[in-house]
Amino acid sequence: MHAQIRRALSSAILTGRIPPGGRIPPESELMALFGASRMTVHRAVAALAAEGLVRRNRRAGTVASPEARGRAVFEIWDIGAEIRAAGHEHRFEILSRAVRPAKRDEMDIPAGRLLLDITTRHLSDGKPAQVEERLVNLDAAPGAAEEPFTAAPPGRWLLDHVPWTEAEHAIHAAAAPAGVAKLLGMNAGDAALVVERRTWNGATPVTFARLWHAGDRHRLVGRFSAGG
């Protein structure tokens, strides 16, 4: 439940429904709105504070951080469009795919529900650009099970065919494991840029993707205005 509260508040902040400096509803209102305990609401708000989306002010209460709209860098971007926009040729290859039952606590869906587990490599002018490890909730995207992904890669296909209402991104550096490093033309243990992306349609998880990039060949750029 705390994750649902956090997603609802972060969506309101990132879309500007709660503007920078705008007050977050007090915990008592959130408890009533979500039917949650004070501890659960407090945990959700604490997570937003740790992410830099809100600030706690003794007089004003909890408000949206002025820097929160800068999270526009985390928009849903298409690696193929990004490569083509840079004047390069984009190509992709499906490396593996399987339909399997979800494990316990995987993607926040009940264990045993079916997932598409698919790995794709994206190339820019024939050189490795990204390794995409993706899980798709087939309850949310049933057509993905039989889709050959010949015309478009999984991420692009999902954007075109499956609605989503909320997204969450986490970006970090990590040592590339041997298998990923080989696919990216790196040495095992070299620094990689990792983007973990989750999307939902309402309360239903749609997909989780872990996107690996060679750390010295990729950058993320976001552009936004002061007014959002």
pLDDT tens-digit readout, 183-207: 999 999 998 999 999 999 888 999 9
Looking at the DSSP bridge assignments, the partners of residue 145 are none
Share of the chain above pLDDT 90, in %: 50
| Per-residue pLDDT tens digits for 141-178 | 999 999 999 999 999 999 889 988 788 888 888 999 99
**CA dist 134 to 56, 188, 195, Å?**
36, 21, 12
**CA dist 5 to 10, 27, 39, Å?**
9, 11, 12
**Mean pLDDT rounded to a whole number for the chain:** 85
Alpha-carbon gap, residue 50 to 107, rounded angstroms: 22
Residue 219 has a pLDDT of 55
Is the four-CA dihedral 33, 202, 76, 190 of positive or negative sign? positive
- The stretches in the chain having pLDDT less than 50 are 71-74, 221-228
Domain 75-214 bears CATH identifier 3.10.20.310: no
Domain with CATH 1.10.10.10 in the chain: 2-72
Looking at the DSSP bridge assignments, the partners of residue 195 are 171, 211
Residue 84 has a pLDDT of 86
Domain with CATH 3.40.1410.10 in the chain: 75-214
Domain 2-72 bears CATH identifier 3.20.20.70: no
